[in-house]
Amino acid sequence: MKSRTHLARVAVTAVLVFAMGCRSYFLADEPSDAGGGDAEGGAADASVTAKARRIYVYGGSPDGVTLPEEPMAHYAEILPDGLLGPWRAAPKPPTSMIWHSSAQGRDFIALLSGIARPHGGNLKIFVGSVADGAVTSFVTSPDLFPNPIHHGASLIRGDVLYVMGGQIGDDKPPTADVWRSAITATTFAPPVRVTPLPAPVARMAMAEGAGSVFLVGGTDQNNANTTSILRARFQVDGSLSTFEAQTPLPSGRRYLAAAVHRSSLLVVGGQAVEEIDNVLTCPIDASGNVAPCVETTALPEPRSRHRAVIHDGRLYVVGGRTKSGGKDVLVGDLNDEGGIVGWRNTSPLPTSAIYTTLLLL
């Protein structure tokens, strides 16, 4: 009888451990971290403290127009209470940049396109090596793109870089181009065009999560604010499917930020005619499609040209243009449905950073 009781307990324990290990993809704020915990379910030494995650800010300028003499490069560690430690100097890319995009690979980051000193339109990629969760140094690619891409979006999946939308010059309309390029920390393949977006778009936000990438808002070929949300799925081989239109935003906006929390797409601020403080939560259903958005707790003040990232159930809003100067950094505590419970101020940036990019390492 004792033997049977012992076996029953073992079986129940095994079922519980298996169930705990089978988390839904939707329950991860950061898909790249899904399954990255301790496989022994708590068997790790309790005296070992996990290394603090870092938020990196690269590029931008105090006025959003003038390229600074020196590149903007800072990082701050995320503290246990969700606030940020002091901002510190990070390794600098080769030159200052604005209107660019950034992407994160397995052991490197990429800063690309936009405009950069000394020639303006940038055709290169600046690749920063990452070791032990920290950026260490940068290398520069040769000229890769046929035209500079301003106000576009980019991501890396595996060893493939995708660059989506944007403008190919200051006075040019947005493009629907999607570029694909093989990339590592030290090698760069010439980009090739793949299936384009359903319509041209620039000045949009991009968010990854729930097995998809989303392009949100922005401006259309007539430079009008758009309400569009586009979605592409990550396929089994890591490639992107074609982009498909989703339920649109309730109103058009450009220079916004977006992020995915569990099964919700968050849309943060932006510019309608002026900057707005509006924050939306847009549910993502089981098939990955976006349902109609609803309003949640607004930003403390209107903000545009900023970036946002989610970590451990908190939304971090960094940089941008505000009436108070844009140095303040906000932490929004989230509920399971993606609603903002409340906002907290944390360590301000050393200087205003309009059109910066944000990376979580």
Is residue 16 domain-resident?
Answer: no
Residue 346 has which token pair?
A: 């944390």
Is residue 23 domain-resident?
Answer: no
**Residues 156, 164: contact at Cβ < 8 Å?**
no
Distance (Å) of CA 65 to CA 224, 228, 308: 21, 27, 21
Identify the pLDDT of residue 218.
Answer: 98
pLDDT tens digits, one per residue of 187-200: 999 999 999 999 99
N-terminal to C-terminal alpha carbon distance within the chain: 53
As a whole number of Å, the CA-based R_g of the chain is 21
Please name which of 256, 301, 262, 304 lies closest in space to residue 280, comparing C-alpha atoms.
256
Q: Which residues lie across from 214 on neighbouring strands?
A: 207, 231
Identify the pLDDT of residue 72.
Answer: 96
Is residue 169 domain-resident?
Answer: yes
Is residue 9 domain-resident?
Answer: no
Distance (Å) of CA 268 to CA 69, 216, 265: 30, 10, 10
Identify the pLDDT of residue 61.
Answer: 95
Identify the pLDDT of residue 125.
Answer: 96
Secondary structure letter of residue 31 according to DSSP:
G
Helix, coil or strand: residue 322: coil
Is residue 102 domain-resident?
Answer: yes
Please name which of 183, 182, 171 lies closest in space to residue 147, comparing C-alpha atoms.
171
Q: What is the pTM of this model?
A: 0.87
Is the pLDDT score of 29 beyond 70? no
Give residue 306's domain range. 51-360
* Sheet containing strand 275-283, strands side by side: 257-261, 264-271, 275-283, 294-295
pLDDT tens digits, one per residue of 217-246: 999 999 999 999 999 999 988 899 999 999
Residue 208 has which token pair?
A: 């990854």
Main-chain dihedrals φ then ψ at residue 327, nearest 5 degrees: -85, -20
Is residue 4 domain-resident?
Answer: no
The total of structural domains in the chain comes to: 1
| CATH, residue 145 | 2.120.10.80
**Residues 126, 140: contact at Cβ < 8 Å?**
yes
pLDDT tens digits, one per residue of 298-316: 999 999 999 999 999 999 9
pLDDT tens digits, one per residue of 241-276: 999 999 999 999 999 999 999 999 999 999 999 999
Is the pLDDT score of 76 beyond 70? yes
**Residues 269, 251: contact at Cβ < 8 Å?**
no
Give me the percent of the chain exceeding a pLDDT of 90.
81
Residue 24 has which token pair?
A: 């839904």
Identify the pLDDT of residue 287.
Answer: 93
Is residue 72 domain-resident?
Answer: yes
Is the pLDDT score of 11 beyond 50? no
Is residue 10 domain-resident?
Answer: no
CB hemisphere CA count around 121 (13 angstroms): 16
Is the pLDDT score of 54 beyond 60? yes
10 Å CB burial of residue 184 (0-12, 13-18, 19+) is middle
Identify the pLDDT of residue 118.
Answer: 83
Average pLDDT for residues 319-345, to the nearest whole number?
95
